[in-house]
C-alpha cells in the first residue's frame, strides 16, 4: 500500500491469521467476498433446510475451518470441513441433514445466520450475517441487489440451491400507492393495496391447531397500524384503501370509486420524511408468540433517488410495475393521486 493511503480505512482489513504476520505476507479476503446468499428455513421435510454461500470474487476461496452459526454469542457451532473451496463466482450449499443439523437448526419463524472465518479453531475476523423473518413452507430467503447497488435479503420466487438466485417473491397483495403528505389537508393520507393475483385472497388465517382466526395486518416503523377486520376478502385485481381519516380523505379527494373497500388505521400519521411500511400475513406460533410473514414492504423516502414531489406538492407515490419488487426506488414514480383506481 502506498504511504499516502496508510490513513485511509478502506486500505485496511482484519488479519486472517491469529496474531498477525509481522514481517510476512498475508492473503486478505476482501469484504463481501463470501456471502450468505440464500437460506431455506421452512422445508417441512420436502427438502432439508439449507444455507447457501456465494463467492462474489474472481478467485477460489478456501473456507475449510470456518464456522456457521445461528447465535451471535456462540459463533463456533458448526465447523466447515477442511478442504471446502468456494469456486470463483461459485456456490456451496450446506444442509441440515448432512452438515449443520447436529449443531443448530433454522427456525421457520426467522432468525440470524452467521458465517465466521477461522484458522485452527480461532476466529480471524471475517464475518457475514443475514437476518430473515418468518417464512411460508418451501419459500427461501435470498440476496437481491436493488437499483442503488444495495442488497435486501428477501423471500424468493423459487429455491435455487447452488445456483444464482431467483427474483423476489411478489404478491399476491402489494402496496401500490402511498399518499403520505397531501397538499391540502394533511390528515387525508391513504395507502392503496392491490390484489395482483388471479384468485381471491382472504385476509385472515384460520389456525386449525388453536382454532384461532387471525387477520392480516399492516405496520409502520412505530408498530401495527391496522389489523384488518375478520372476513375481508380481496377479489382478483381488486384495490382497497387504508385511510387516516375518512372525512378528511373525502374533503381532499372526493368519493372513492363505487364499491371500494376502505379501512381507517388508528395509529399516528405517515412520516413525511419516509419510513417502512410492511404488509403481513399470519404465520405459525412458537409457544404463545404468533409470528407473521412479510407479504410486501416499502421503505419510502422523500429524497433522491425517491421522487420528492409526493412530499407536500400534491403528487402521490405510485408503484410503476406491481409485479416487480416494491422496495426499490426505481419502481416508484410521482403521479397525480388515483386512489382506488
> Does residue 35 register a pLDDT over 70?
yes
Rounded Cα–Cα distance for residues 242 and 263 (Å): 5
The whole-number pLDDT of residue 24 equals 52
Task: For residue 14, give the H/E element and its range.
Answer: none
pLDDT digits (tens, 9 = 90+) for 5-15: 667 765 566 56
**DSSP-derived secondary structure letter, 4:** G
Rounded Cα–Cα distance for residues 286 and 284 (Å): 7
Contacts of 279 (CB under 8 A, 6+ apart): 173, 174, 175, 193, 216, 217, 218, 294, 295, 296, 297
Where does CATH 2.60.40 sit in the chain?
Answer: 3-155
Alpha carbon 9 to its chain centroid, in Å, reads 29
Section 33-52 average pLDDT: 91
pLDDT digits (tens, 9 = 90+) for 278-335: 999 999 888 889 999 999 999 999 999 999 999 999 999 999 999 999 999 999 999 9
Rounded Cα–Cα distance for residues 180 and 191 (Å): 8
SS3 242: strand
**Which comes out higher in pLDDT, residue 67 or 211?**
67
Rounded Cα–Cα distance for residues 39 and 113 (Å): 9
**Which comes out higher in pLDDT, residue 135 or 18?**
135
The whole-number pLDDT of residue 176 equals 99
> Does residue 25 register a pLDDT over 50?
no
Rounded Cα–Cα distance for residues 66 and 331 (Å): 39
- Lowest mean pLDDT, pick from 39-43, 90-94, 282-286: 282-286
Average pLDDT, the chain: 93
CA atoms within 13 A on the CB side of 326: 30
Strand partners, 251: none
pLDDT digits (tens, 9 = 90+) for 102-128: 999 999 999 999 999 999 999 999 999
pLDDT digits (tens, 9 = 90+) for 200-237: 999 999 988 888 899 999 999 999 999 999 999 999 99
> Does residue 78 register a pLDDT over 90?
yes
Cβ(298)–Cβ(146) below 8 Å: no
Q: Which of 117, 119, 131 shows the shortest CA–CA distance to 13?
A: 117
Cβ(26)–Cβ(16) below 8 Å: yes
The pTM for the full model equals: 0.89
Query: What is the architecture of the domain spanning 3-155?
Result: Sandwich (2.60)
> Does residue 76 register a pLDDT over 80?
yes
Torsion of CA 229, 232, 237, 240, to 10 degrees: -30
Q: Is 39 exposed, middle or buried (0-12, 13-18, 19+ CB in 10 A)?
A: buried
Contacts 24+ apart (CB under 8 A), 99-104: 100/51, 100/68, 101/48, 102/78, 103/69, 103/77, 103/78, 104/68, 104/69, 104/70, 104/71, 104/77, 104/78
Percent of the chain with pLDDT over 90: 84
The whole-number pLDDT of residue 13 equals 60
Amino acid at each position: 500500500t502506498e504511504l499516502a493511503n496508510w490513513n485511509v480505512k478502506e486500505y485496511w482489513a482484519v488479519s486472517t491469521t491469529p496474531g498477525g504476520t509481522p514481517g510476512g505476507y498475508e492473503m486478505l479476503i476482501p469484504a463481501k467476498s463470501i456471502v450468505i446468499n440464500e437460506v431455506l428455513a421452512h422445508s417441512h421435510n420436502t427438502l432439508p433446510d439449507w444455507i447457501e454461500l456465494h463467492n462474489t470474487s474472481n478467485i477460489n476461496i478456501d473456507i475449510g475451518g470456518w464456522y456457521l452459526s445461528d447465535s451471535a454469542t456462540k459463533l463456533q457451532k458448526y465447523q466447515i470441513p477442511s478442504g471446502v473451496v468456494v469456486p470463483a463466482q461459485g456456490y456451496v450449499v450446506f444442509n441440515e441433514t448432512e452438515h449443520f443439523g447436529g449443531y443448530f437448526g433454522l427456525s421457520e419463524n426467522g432468525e440470524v445466520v452467521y458465517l465466521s472465518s477461522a484458522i485452527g479453531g480461532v476466529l480471524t475476523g471475517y464475518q457475514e450475517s443475514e437476518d430473515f423473518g418468518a417464512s411460508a413452507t418451501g419459500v427461501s430467503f435470498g440476496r437481491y441487489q436493488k437499483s442503488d447497488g444495495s442488497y435486501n435479503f428477501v423471500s424468493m420466487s423459487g429455491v435455487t440451491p447452488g445456483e444464482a438466485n431467483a427474483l423476489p417473491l411478489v404478491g399476491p397483495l402489494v402496496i401500490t400507492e402511498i399518499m403520505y403528505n397531501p397538499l391540502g389537508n394533511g390528515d387525508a393520507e391513504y395507502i392503496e393495496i392491490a390484489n395482483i393475483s388471479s384468485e381471491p385472497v382472504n385476509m385472515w388465517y384460520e389456525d386449525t391447531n388453536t382454532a384461532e382466526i387471525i387477520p392480516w395486518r399492516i405496520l409502520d416503523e412505530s408498530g401495527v397500524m391496522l389489523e384488518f377486520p375478520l372476513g375481508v376478502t380481496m377479489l382478483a385485481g381488486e384495490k382497497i384503501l387504508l385511510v387516516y381519516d375518512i372525512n378528511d380523505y373525502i374533503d381532499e379527494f372526493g368519493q372513492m370509486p363505487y364499491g371500494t373497500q376502505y379501512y381507517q388505521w388508528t395509529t399516528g400519521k405517515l412520516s413525511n420524511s419516509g419510513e417502512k411500511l410492511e404488509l403481513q400475513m399470519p404465520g405459525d406460533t412458537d409457544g404463545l408468540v404468533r409470528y407473521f410473514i412479510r407479504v410486501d414492504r416499502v421503505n419510502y423516502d422523500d429524497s433522491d433517488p425517491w421522487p420528492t414531489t409526493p412530499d407536500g406538492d400534491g403528487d402521490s407515490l405510485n408503484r410503476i410495475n406491481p409485479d416487480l419488487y416494491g422496495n426499490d426506488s426505481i419502481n416508484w414514480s410521482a403521479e397525480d393521486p388515483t386512489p382506488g383506481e
